[in-house]
C-alpha cells in the first residue's frame, strides 16, 4: 500500500493550481449575488482543454482517469474561489463526458467528442424530475420508438448547466415497467427541435454561479444511434456516472476546504482577543484541529474511491462513503470557519460563500440519507456472509 503522490499527480496539481490562480475574478461577489455563470471563465477553461480532461487523446483530450481528475479538481478549487464554476465543470466531466466516452460506440464518440473539445461545449446531465430525485425508478420522462429513432416527452428539473448547455445526456423510460432496466440514455444537441431550456436559472442558496434550470422535451426526436449503449442500459450508465461524481466531483470541496483551513489559521493567528491570538485559546485551536482532521479523512476516502474506479475494483459503497464524508465535512468546516471569523465571517465574502456552497452537497449525487441506507444494506449482507474484512 503506497500513499505517496506520483510525479504525474504532482505535475497535474501544479498545473491546475497555476490555472486556478489565473481564474481569479474581482467580479465574483457581484456574479454570486446575481446568480450568473461566467461564459468568459468557461472559455478560459476550454482554451486550456480543462473541459476535456477525461476525453481520450485521439479525440483531443488528456485521457485523465478518476485519480488524475481528483488531483486536478482539488488543485483548481484550492486556488479558484468560484466554486460554482468548478461545480459546472465537474458535473460536465463526470456526468456528461464520462458516460459518452465509456458507453458511446466509436461512431458516436467521433461525432461528439472532437466537437465538444474544439468548440468548448458544455454538457447537462438530465435525469432528475419533480417526482424522481434519488428514486430514479419514479422517472416519468419517456422515449418512445418512432421509425429509426425515439420521441422524447417529459420534463427534467434542477439540471446543472441546463440554461447554458450545448449538449444534453438525458435518461428516459424505454420500458413499460419501473425497474432498473426500463430506461435508456441518449446524447443530443440542446438546439434539437422539441427541446426547451429554461434560460432563467434557478435562484438558490449556494453554488449560485452554476446555472441550474429545467429542460422540457416536447416530442424531440433522436436517432437510435444517439443512444448510449443498448436499450435498457440506462441504469448501469447512471450508476457509473454517480460513481464518478461521488468520487471525483467532490474533490472541488476538498480544495475549497484546504483554502478555507489555511485562511482560518491565518485569521486565528493574527486576530487578538483578551490579549492573545485566537489560536492560543484552546476552544478555537481545537475547532481548527477538527477542521484539519475532517478534511484529511474526507480526502483519503475520495482518493481511495478514485483509485478503485481506475482499477475496476469499486462497487457503489466506496464512492458513497467518499461523498458522505466530503459533504458532511464541508458543511461542518464551513460552520467552524464562520464561527472563528466571527462578524467578518458573516459578512459577504469567501467564508460565508463557501458555507453556502457546501449546503447543497448533501443532496445532489444521491441524498445522504439514501446513501446511508444503501451502505447499511451492503454492510448487513457482508456481515451475514462473513465478507468485507479486507477491502
pTM, entire model: 0.95
Query: What pLDDT is stored for residue 388 in this prediction?
Result: 58
In whole angstroms, give the CA distance from residue 60 to residue 54: 10
Q: What is the pLDDT of residue 99?
A: 95
Compute the average pLDDT of residues 196-220.
Answer: 95
> Average model confidence (pLDDT) for the chain?
94
Break the chain down into helix, strand, coil percent, rounded to 5.
55, 15, 30
**Is 296 in the active site?**
no
Distance CA 271, CA 308 (A): 43
CA distance 330 to 361: 8
Band of the pLDDT at 151, cuts 50, 70, 90?
Answer: very high
- Residue 313 pLDDT greater than 70, yes or no: yes
pLDDT in tens, 30-59: 999 999 999 999 999 999 999 999 999 999
Choose the catalytic residue: 74, 81, 245, 352.
245
What residue has cell string 485562511? 263
- Residue in 232, 247, 254, 228 with CA at minimum distance from that of residue 125: 228
CA gap 42, 44 in Å, rounded: 5
**162: which 3 cell numbers?**
441546463
The Cα 340–Cα 139 span in angstroms is: 44
Percent of the chain residues topping a pLDDT of 70: 98
- pLDDT above 90 covers a percentage of the chain that reads 90
Alpha-carbon separation of residue 228 from 106, 180, 225, 324 (angstroms): 11, 16, 8, 29
Q: What values do phi and psi take at 83, rounded to 5?
A: -65, -30
Amino acid at each position: 500500500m503506497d500513499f505517496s503522490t506520483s510525479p504525474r499527480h504532482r505535475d497535474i496539481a501544479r498545473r491546475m493550481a497555476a490555472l486556478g490562480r489565473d481564474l481569479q475574478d474581482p467580479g465574483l461577489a457581484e456574479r454570486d449575488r446575481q446568480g450568473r455563470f461566467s461564459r468568459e471563465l468557461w472559455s478560459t477553461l476550454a482554451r486550456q482543454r480543462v473541459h476535456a480532461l477525461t476525453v481520450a487523446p485521439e479525440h483531443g483530450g488528456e485521457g485523465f482517469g478518476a485519480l488524475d481528475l481528483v488531483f486536478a479538481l482539488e488543485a483548481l478549487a484550492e486556488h479558484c474561489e468560484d466554486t460554482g464554476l468548478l461545480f459546472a465543470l465537474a458535473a460536465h466531466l463526470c456526468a456528461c463526458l464520462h458516460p459518452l466516452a465509456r458507453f458511446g460506440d466509436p461512431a458516436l464518440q467521433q461525432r461528439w467528442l472532437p466537437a465538444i473539445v474544439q468548440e468548448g461545449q458544455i454538457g447537462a446531465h438530465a435525469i432528475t424530475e419533480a417526482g424522481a430525485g434519488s428514486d430514479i425508478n419514479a422517472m416519468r420522462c419517456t422515449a418512445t420508438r418512432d421509425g429509426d429513432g425515439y420521441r422524447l416527452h417529459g420534463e427534467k428539473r434542477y439540471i446543472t448547466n441546463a440554461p447554458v448547455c450545448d449538449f444534453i445526456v438525458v435518461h428516459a423510460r424505454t420500458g413499460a415497467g419501473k425497474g432498473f432496466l426500463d430506461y435508456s440514455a441518449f446524447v443530443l444537441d440542446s438546439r434539437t427541435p422539441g427541446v426547451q431550456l429554461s434560460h432563467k436559472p434557478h435562484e438558490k442558496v449556494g453554488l449560485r454561479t452554476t446555472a441550474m434550470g429545467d429542460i422540457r422535451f416536447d416530442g424531440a426526436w433522436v436517432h437510435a444511434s444517439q443512444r448510449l449503449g443498448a436499450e435498457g442500459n440506462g441504469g448501469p450508465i447512471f450508476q457509473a456516472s454517480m460513481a464518478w461524481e461521488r468520487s471525483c466531483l467532490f474533490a472541488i470541496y476538498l480544495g475549497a476546504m484546504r483554502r478555507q483551513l489555511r485562511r482560518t489559521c491565518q485569521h486565528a493567528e493574527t486576530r487578538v482577543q483578551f490579549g492573545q491570538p485566537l489560536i492560543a485559546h484552546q476552544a478555537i485551536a481545537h475547532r481548527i484541529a477538527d477542521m484539519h482532521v475532517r478534511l484529511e479523512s474526507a480526502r483519503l476516502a475520495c482518493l481511495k474511491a478514485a483509485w478503485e474506479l481506475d482499477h475496476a475494483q469499486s462497487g457503489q459503497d466506496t464512492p458513497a462513503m467518499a461523498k458522505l464524508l466530503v459533504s458532511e465535512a464541508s458543511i461542518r468546516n464551513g460552520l467552524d470557519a464562520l464561527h472563528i471569523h466571527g462578524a467578518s465571517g458573516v459578512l459577504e465574502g469567501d467564508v460565508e460563500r463557501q458555507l453556502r456552497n457546501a449546503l447543497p452537497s448533501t443532496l445532489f449525487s444521491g441524498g445522504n440519507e439514501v446513501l446511508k441506507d444503501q451502505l447499511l444494506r451492503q454492510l448487513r449482507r457482508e456481515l451475514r456472509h462473513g465478507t468485507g474484512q479486507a477491502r
